[in-house]
Structure 1
C-alpha cells in the first residue's frame, strides 16, 4: 500500500534575506530563505525564530521611505502605521532595505536586505536558515548597552554580576560566538509561511 506524500507547493520565487542585528559586537546576523510572497506579519515570525526571540514584545517594520508597518494595538490607535498582516515584503521593500525593530524598550534594530531572488525549488521547505553568525542577545537585557555589559560579565566569572546572569539565563556556558543552524531551522520549521 503506497503512502500519501503531501507535496508542498513551490512558491513563485524565493528571496534570500540577510538580516543583521545592528550595533552588536560581534555582529549577529542570519541568512534566511523565504517565499517571495511572504507578508510582513509572517516575516516577523520568521525573524523571531531565526534570532531566538520570544515574540513577547511589540515590533514594527520601517521602509526606506519612512513608511511604518506593524500589528494594530487595540490599546493604542496609531494612524501612522500600516497593517503588516496583508503587506508583502516585496511591497514594503520598494527596492531598498527594510528595518525591523523588536522590543521598543531594548530597541533591537535589524537591517533586512534582499541578497538575491532564487527560482522556485520544488519540495524545498521554507523558511530556511542558510547561514549566520553569533548568538542572539538575551531578551530584556537592556538593549545594546545592556548586551555589551552582559557579554563582558558572562566572560568573567569574577565579575560581581556573573552569577546573577548565569542564574537568569540558566547556563554559564553562554558563548557570544555560538551559532547553530540546526537549532534555528528546527524553530523555523514551526513557522507557517
Structure 2
C-alpha cells in the first residue's frame, strides 16, 4: 500500500478560520492540487493562480499568468516537504486570496478509498470575485447584524400558500427571499457540506486504491 499526505488548508487573514483537512496522494501534480482547492473552496477557476515555495513559483500557463515553473510537471513528492512545512497558494492575483497548505502528516492509504479525500472542514469560502478579505469581512459583519427574518417569513408564507394550493405565478419575491437566506448562511454558518464537497472531488480524475 502507498502513503497519502494529510494537508490542512487555511484561508489567510480571516477569523474565525476557514479551513479544510484533506488527504491526497504524493503523486498528485500541483496543477491537480489547484483543481482540488477550487472544489474545496467552491471557486470557478475564472482567475489566475500560483503556488509559492522556497522562492519558487509554480502555475498552470494561460495568458497573463505569472512567470514560473509548469505546475503540471511538478508533483507533491517532488517538493520533498517535511511535516509542518507550508506551501502558499494564491488565487485571483489582483486580490489575492491566499490559502496556506500545511503538511500535517503522512498516512497509509485506506483500502477502497478514493483520493483526494476531504476529511473535515468549517465555513464556506468567500465568493471569489470580491475585492479581498476586507470586503468579505464587511459583508459577513453586515449579515451577522441583519438576520433574514423577513425573508424567512416570506418563505414560510410561500410554503403555506403552496400547501393550500394557492400557487403564485410570480416567483420573483420567493427567489429574492431564497437568495437572501442563502447569502446569510454562506457568510455566517460554521457548518460545511462535507458530503457535497466529497462528491465534487469524486468528479475529478483520480484512481481508486486497489
> Tell me, what secondary structure is at the counterpart of 2:23?
strand
CA distance in 2 between partners of 1:167 and 1:115 (Å) = 37
Q: Which is greater in Rg?
A: 2
Match of 2:112 in 1: 123
Q: What are the ranges of 5 or more consecutive residues in structure 2 without an aligned counterpart?
A: 148-175
Q: 1:169 to 1:104 in 2, by over 3 A?
A: farther
Equivalent of 2:56 in 57, 62, 67: 67
Contact map agreement 2:47 2:92 (CA 8 A) in 1 = yes
Aligned partner of 2:126 in structure 1 is 137
Is there any run of 5+ residues in structure 1 with no aligned partner, and where? Answer: 1-10, 159-163
TM-score, normalised by the number of residues in structure 1: 0.81
Number of residue equivalences: 174
Q: Which residue of 2 aligns with 1:192?
A: 205
CA distance in 1, matches of 2:181, 2:134: 18
- 2:59–2:65 Cα contact (<8 Å) kept: no
**1:88 aligned onto 2:101:** no
| 1:16-42: CA deviation from partner (whole Å, max 9, x where unpaired) | 111111111110010001112110000
- Counterpart secondary structure, 1:18: strand
- Whose helix proportion is higher, 1 or 2? 2
The alpha-carbon deviation at position 170 of structure 1 amounts to 5.5
CA distance in 2, matches of 1:77, 1:137: 23
Which of 83, 87, 98 matches 1:109?
98
User: What displacement does 1:106 show?
Assistant: 2.4
Q: Residue 93 and residue 153 in structure 1: after superposition, are their counterparts in 2 closer, same or farther (change >3 A)? A: farther
Q: Report if aligned partners of 2:6, 2:21 keep a CA contact under 8 Å in 1.
A: yes
State the superposition RMSD in angstroms.
2.3
Q: Check 1:57–1:93 CA distance in 2 against 1; reply closer, same or farther (3 A cut).
A: farther
* CA spacing shift, 1:92–1:14, aligned 2, 3 Å: same
How far apart in 2 are the matches of 1:136 and 1:24?
10
Cα distance in 2, alignment partners of residues 40 and 93 from structure 1: 13
- Secondary structure of the 2:90 match is strand
- TM-superposed CA distance for 1:12, in Å, is 2.8
